[in-house]
Amino acid sequence: KYQDKGIRVKFQGGRELTGILKGYDALMNLVLDDTVEYLRDFDDPHSLSGETRQLGTVICRGIAIMTINPAEGMTEIQNPYE
């Protein structure tokens, strides 16, 4: 049902990826294809720099994943606590 859909994954430590979900297991380990990493700003690690890099096929460890969202239709809002 969810396989072959575009998703955005955020990890502990701030890394963010988007890719096509190819598989997952009971521990929420994910296999993503056509994966793109969004690089962090060197001076402000809490914001994205706007640069990306292509990673291809990756395995994401479920223990490090914080959120999983659809790649399309997601809007990031400003943090109300800053």
pLDDT digits (tens, 9 = 90+) for 39-53: 887 777 667 777 889
> What digits encode the pLDDT tens for the residues 3-33?
888 999 999 888 899 999 999 999 999 999 9
This prediction's pTM = 0.77
Residue 77: its pLDDT value, please? 78
Higher pLDDT, 48 or 38: 38
Q: Is the pLDDT of residue 62 over 90?
A: yes
pLDDT above 80 for 2: no
42, 40, 22: which is closest to 32 by C-alpha?
A: 22
Distance CA 2, CA 66 (A): 18
| Four-CA torsion 48, 77, 70, 32, nearest 10 degrees | 20
